Amino acid sequence: MALENLISVSFSDKELKDLDTHLNAFKTILKGKTVNISADQRQQYGRIANQNKLIVDKVKNYMEQNPEWVPNFIDKEEFDRDYAVRKQIEDRVHLMENLTQQLIDTKTLLDHDNYNNALSFYRMVRYLSKENEPGAKTVYEDMKKLFNRKHSNEDTDPSE
């Protein structure tokens, strides 16, 4: 019985080159405009939740309507730049997250297909080694080592 192939996809050399070119273009455009912060900093600064985004939006609106109320210690021009760029970045982050999830999901199905085919091959080599097929025992013994880890149920010999 043939295994179910969950997905079949391929990329031409040109598609991969184009994809890499565009990804490198992203990196070039973002260079010097983005930062990496530590896990501690992420925790320190956090992310504003939707409710807090509503607060920022409301304040922005009121600042526009009542510029005389903006405290002198707030740089309104910087606030406006930060506000605009945050929105520009957020829109692109959503798009990139969607594309990333599509790639992850596709890779998951490809991994599943590959792993199940690898297990089928391993089981066949195990069978052939028992039938004294020349060279099969060496391959089986080599591959069997990959399944003899006792610390995880997933790593046990799937043919047993």
Binned at pLDDT 50, 70 and 90, residue 20 comes out as very high
d(CA 131, CA 136): 9
The pLDDT value recorded for residue 150 is: 63
Binned at pLDDT 50, 70 and 90, residue 112 comes out as very high
d(CA 51, CA 48): 8
Residues 6+ apart with CB under 8 A from 56: 48, 83
- The closest of 34, 152, 139 to 92, measured between CA atoms, is 34
- The closest of 146, 148, 127 to 137, measured between CA atoms, is 127
The pLDDT value recorded for residue 158 is: 65
| Mean confidence (pLDDT) of the chain | 92
Task: Please name the residue that has the structure tokens 């760029």.
Answer: 85
Tell me: the pLDDT tens digits for 57-107? 999 999 999 999 999 999 999 999 999 999 999 999 999 999 999 999 999
Main-chain phi, psi angles of 7, to 5 degrees: -155, 150
